[in-house]
C-alpha cells in the first residue's frame, strides 16, 4: 500500500511555523517512501474561518517548496479537498451511525447542559449527563414539535481502554469516560473529530500526523473508526514549539516571529526556513545542520523526532539564513533585495541594475536577510553624508586632515574612477602622508561612508562614485578649517 500523508489545516489565520513544520515532516516522509502528500482544508468550524486564509496556506507552503500531490487547487481522485464541500458525504455516514444506534440526537438546551454540568461535577469536567441518551421516539418527536434544535452525539462506553501506537511517542493509551461527544453541531456541521475520521479514511490516509494538542482527540477518533469497522491510520503527535524561555509558544508571543509570511516579507530565503523547521525537534544524528530538501527527504524519520518540546532558536535561524544568503546566486539575491530598496524609498521603478547588482554583491556577506539591506546601505543613496558616532570619533583623530586632503588631490588629479584606480589612489596617499593601515583606511571609510564598518572599501568608494566621495571629503575639510579658524 502506498504511503499517503496529509496536512489538514483549519483556515483560521496565518500559516504558523508549527503548522509549516507539521506539513513539512509529513511531506518529507511521504516523499521518502514514494508516497503522496495531500493538503485538505478543514473548514467546518464556520465561525473560526478567516477569508483568504486557505490561499495564504497554499502560497506559504509553495513558497517553502512543499508541494502537494492532491488538494483543492491541484485536484486529485479523492476530492473535494475542502471539508465544507463534503457535507453530503458526512451526512451518509452520520445516518449510518444513527441507524445503528451508535449515535443519537440530543435536544438538550444550553441551559440544561449547564445545569447538568454543575450537578455532575460542579462544572469541573465538561461531561455530558446522558439526558438524551435513551430518548424514546415519542420524546424525541415531542422535542421536534417544540421546535428544539438538536446536535448528534456519539455513544461512548465507560472504562474501556483505547490504545494506539504513536509514531513519535510509542504506545499511548486512554480510558474511555462515557462522555458522549458531539459529532454534529446544531447548525448541522460535523465536528472536527468526526469529519477528520471520514476524510482520513476516504482519502486513504496511512499516516495522520499533527500537533501534540490533538493527542486527546485521538481516542475519540479511534472509537469512530471502530464504530465503522475501519482500520485507523498510524497517528503521530508532534512536539510543541517553545519560546526561548522554554515556555509553550502562544500566538501572541512577540519574542519570536511566528508566521511564514512574515519571514517571506522580511526577505528570508525559503530553503533556510525549510532547513531550520526540519531540524526544529528532529535531527538526523551527526553534526551536519545544512541540509537540502533532497537530503531531508532522504534522512527524515519520525523515530528521531523529540518527544519533548523544541526551543525556537531565533539566532540559529538568523545564522542559517545568512548562510543561505551567502550561497545564493547573486541575481536571485538582487531580485530579493529590490522590493526592499523600493519600499525604503531608495530606488524607484527605474534604476541602474548593474550598479544595484554590485551593491547587493558587496553586502551579500553582511546581511542576514534582505530586509536588512536598506538601512545598511542608505548612505549610498543620500547626497548629504551623515557620520555616526564611531565615525565622528575617528574623524577627530590627528591624521585626518592630512589623509583626507591628500585623497582629495589624488582623486582630483586622477582621470578615472575604477576599483583598480581607487587602490592606486590609496597607495599614493599612503606614500605621500606616511599613514597606513587603520589610520589610512579607517579615515577614508569614515569620511566617505559615515560608518566605520562596512563592505569592501574599494568597492564601496567605487559604488558611491567620485562625485559623492569628493563632496563628502570636502565637507569634512570645511568642518576642520572652520574649527581651526575659530
Query: Which residues are known catalytic residues?
Result: 251
Cβ proximity to ligand GLU: between 44 and 364 the closer is 44
What sections of 75-171 are H helices per DSSP? 87-99, 110-121, 137-145
Mark the segment that binds ligand GLU (CB under 6 A) among 152-160, 175-183, 206-214, 431-439.
Answer: 206-214
The region of 90-98, 207-215, 323-331, 334-342 touching ligand GLU under the rule CB under 6 A is 207-215
At closest approach, how far in Å is the CB of 251 from ligand GLU? 13
Secondary structure element (H or E) that encloses residue 161, with its range = strand 158-166
Residue nearest ligand GLU (C-beta atom): 210
Contacts of 123 (CB under 8 A, 6+ apart): 117
> Given candidates 4, 5, 9, 152, which one binds ligand GLU under the rule CB under 6 A?
9
Q: Which three cell numbers stand for residue 448?
A: 566617505
- Which residue's C-alpha cell is 430518548? 135
Window of 129-137, 176-184, 208-216, 473-481 that interacts with ligand GLU by CB under 6 A: 208-216
Task: Please state, in angstroms and rounded to a whole number, the distance separating the CA atoms of residues 425 and 406.
Answer: 9
By CB under 6 A, is residue 190 in contact with ligand GLU? no
Least gap, CB of 196 to ligand GLU (angstroms): 5
How many residues lie near ligand GLU (CB under 6 A)? 8
Cα–chain center distance at 404: 49
353: which residues sit within 8 A by CB, 6+ positions away? 334
Binding of ligand GLU by 206 (CB under 6 A): no
How far apart CA 274 and CA 297 sit, in angstroms, is 12
Q: From the CB of 323, what's the least distance to ligand GLU, in Å?
A: 32
Segment contacting ligand GLU by CB under 6 A, of 6-14, 84-92, 328-336, 474-482: 6-14
CB of 378 vs ligand GLU, minimal distance in Å: 42
Contact segment (CB under 6 A) with ligand GLU among 5-13, 60-68, 336-344, 366-374 equals 5-13
Which position among 5, 10, 310, 460 is part of the footprint of ligand GLU (CB under 6 A)? Answer: 10
Among 86, 150, 210, 369, which residue sits at the site for ligand GLU (rule: CB under 6 A)? Answer: 210
Interface region with ligand GLU, contact rule CB under 6 A, candidates 3-11, 248-256, 298-306, 467-475: 3-11
- With CB under 6 A as the contact rule, the residue among 131, 214, 264, 480 that binds ligand GLU is 214
Closest CB to ligand GLU among residues 10, 449: 10
Which of 154, 190, 203, 169 is closest to 8 using CA atoms?
Answer: 203
CB of 161 to ligand GLU, least distance (A): 22
Q: Sort residue 417 into left (φ over 0), alpha (ψ -120 to 50) or beta.
A: beta
Nearer to ligand GLU, 182 or 471 (CB): 182
Judged by beta carbon, residue 8 or residue 360, the one nearer ligand GLU is 8
Nearer to ligand GLU, 251 or 438 (CB): 251
B/e letters for 213-235, b = 16+ CB within 10 Å, e = fewer, are ebbebbbbbbbbeebeeeebbbb
Stretch that binds ligand GLU, among 4-12, 29-37, 85-93, 295-303 (CB under 6 A): 4-12
Residue 484: CB atoms within 10 Å = 7
Q: Which is nearer to ligand GLU, 105 or 214 (CB)?
A: 214
Minimum CB separation of residue 93 from ligand GLU in Å reads 17
Handedness of CA 182, 184, 188, 189 (dihedral sign): positive
Nearest to 183 by CA among 91, 108, 88, 84: 91
| Distance from the first to the final alpha carbon of the chain | 90
The H or E element spanning position 28 is helix 17-32
Q: How many CB atoms lie within 10 A of CB 402?
A: 16
Instruction: Please report how many Cα atoms fall inside a 13 Å half-sphere around the Cα of residue 18, on the Cβ side.
Output: 21
- When asked if residue 196 is in the footprint of ligand GLU (CB under 6 A), the reply is yes
Please report whether residue 207 would count as binding ligand GLU according to CB under 6 A: no
Helix ranges, 328-436 (H): 330-343, 353-363, 373-377, 389-394, 400-413, 419-433
Angle, CA of 446, 478 and 444, to the nearest 5°: 20
Q: Between 53 and 442, name the residue whose CB sits nearer to ligand GLU.
A: 53
Which string of x and - marks every residue 280-309 that binds ligand GLU (by CB under 6 A)?
------------------------------
What is the spatial distance between Cα 443 and Cα 140, in angstroms, rounded to a whole number? Answer: 91
List the interface residues with ligand GLU, window 37-56 (CB under 6 A).
Answer: 42
CB of 22 to ligand GLU, least distance (A): 7
- Peptide bond before 429: cis, by omega within 30 degrees of 0? no
Among 5, 8, 153, 340, binds ligand GLU (CB under 6 A): 8
Q: Restricting to residues 359-378, which ones interact with ligand GLU according to CB under 6 A?
A: none
Which parts of this chain interact with ligand GLU (CB under 6 A)?
8-10, 42, 196, 208, 210, 214
Amino acid at each position: 500500500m502506498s504511503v499517503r500523508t496529509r496536512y489538514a489545516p483549519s483556515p483560521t489565520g496565518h500559516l504558523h511555523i508549527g503548522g509549516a513544520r507539521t506539513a513539512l515532516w509529513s511531506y518529507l516522509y511521504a516523499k521518502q517512501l514514494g508516497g503522496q502528500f495531500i493538503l485538505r482544508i478543514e473548514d467546518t468550524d464556520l465561525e473560526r474561518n478567516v477569508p483568504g486564509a486557505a490561499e495564504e496556506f497554499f502560497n506559504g507552503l509553495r513558497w517553502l517548496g512543499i508541494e502537494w500531490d492532491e488538494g483543492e487547487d491541484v485536484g486529485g481522485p479523492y476530492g473535494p479537498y475542502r471539508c465544507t464541500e463534503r457535507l453530503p458525504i458526512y451526512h451518509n455516514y452520520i445516518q449510518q451511525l444513527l441507524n445503528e444506534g451508535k449515535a443519537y440526537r440530543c435536544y438538550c438546551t444550553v441551559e440544561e447542559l449547564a445545569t447538568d454540568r454543575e450537578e455532575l461535577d460542579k462544572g469541573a469536567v465538561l461531561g455530558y449527563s446522558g439526558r438524551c441518551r435513551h430518548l424514546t421516539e415519542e420524546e424525541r418527536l415531542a422535542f421536534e414539535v417544540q421546535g428544539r434544535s438538536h446536535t448528534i452525539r456519539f455513544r461512548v462506553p465507560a472504562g474501556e481502554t483505547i490504545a494506539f501506537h504513536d509514531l513519535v511517542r510509542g504506545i499511548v493509551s486512554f480510558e474511555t469516560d462515557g462522555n458522549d461527544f458531539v459529532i454534529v453541531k446544531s447548525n448541522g456541521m460535523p465536528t472536527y473529530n468526526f469529519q477528520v475520521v471520514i476524510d482520513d479514511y476516504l482519502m486513504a490516509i496511512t499516516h495522520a500526523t499533527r500537533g501534540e494538542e490533538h493527542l486527546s482527540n485521538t481516542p475519540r477518533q479511534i472509537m469512530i473508526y471502530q464504530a465503522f469497522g475501519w482500520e485507523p491510520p498510524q497517528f503521530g503527535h508532534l512536539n510543541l514549539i517553545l519560546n526561548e524561555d522554554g515556555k509553550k509558544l502562544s500566538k501572541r508571543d512577540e519574542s519570536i516571529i511566528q508566521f511564514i509570511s512574515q519571514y517571506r516579507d522580511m526577505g528570508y530565503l525559503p530553503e533556510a526556513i525549510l532547513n531550520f523547521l526540519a531540524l526544529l525537534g528532529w535531527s538526523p544524528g551527526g553534526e551536519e545542520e545544512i541540509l537540502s530538501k533532497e537530503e531531508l527527504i532522504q534522512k527524515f524519520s519520525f523515530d528521531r523526532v523529540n518527544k519533548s518540546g523544541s526551543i525556537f532558536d531565533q539566532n540559529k535561524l538568523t545564522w542559517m539564513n545568512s548562510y543561505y544568503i551567502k550561497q545564493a546566486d547573486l541575481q536571485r539575491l538582487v531580485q530579493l533585495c529590490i522590493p526592499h530598496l523600493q519600499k525604503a524609498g531608495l530606488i524607484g521603478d527605474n534604476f541602474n541594475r548593474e550598479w544595484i547588482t554590485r551593491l547587493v554583491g558587496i553586502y551579500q556577506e553582511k546581511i542576514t536577510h534582505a530586509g536588512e539591506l536598506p538601512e545598511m546601505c542608505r548612505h549610498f543613496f543620500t547626497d548629504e553624508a551623515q557620520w555616526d558616532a564611531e565615525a565622528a570619533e575617528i574623524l577627530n583623530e590627528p591624521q585626518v586632515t592630512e589623509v583626507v586632503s591628500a585623497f582629495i588631490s589624488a582623486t582630483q588629479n586622477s582621470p578615472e574612477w575604477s576599483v583598480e584606480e581607487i587602490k592606486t589612489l590609496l597607495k599614493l596617499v599612503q606614500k605621500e602622508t606616511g599613514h597606513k593601515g587603520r589610520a589610512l583606511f579607517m579615515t577614508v571609510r569614515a569620511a566617505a561612508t559615515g560608518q566605520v564598518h562596512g563592505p569592501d572599501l574599494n568597492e564601496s568608494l567605487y559604488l558611491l562614485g567620485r562625485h559623492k566621495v569628493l563632496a563628502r571629503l570636502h565637507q569634512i575639510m570645511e568642518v576642520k578649517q572652520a574649527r581651526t579658524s575659530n
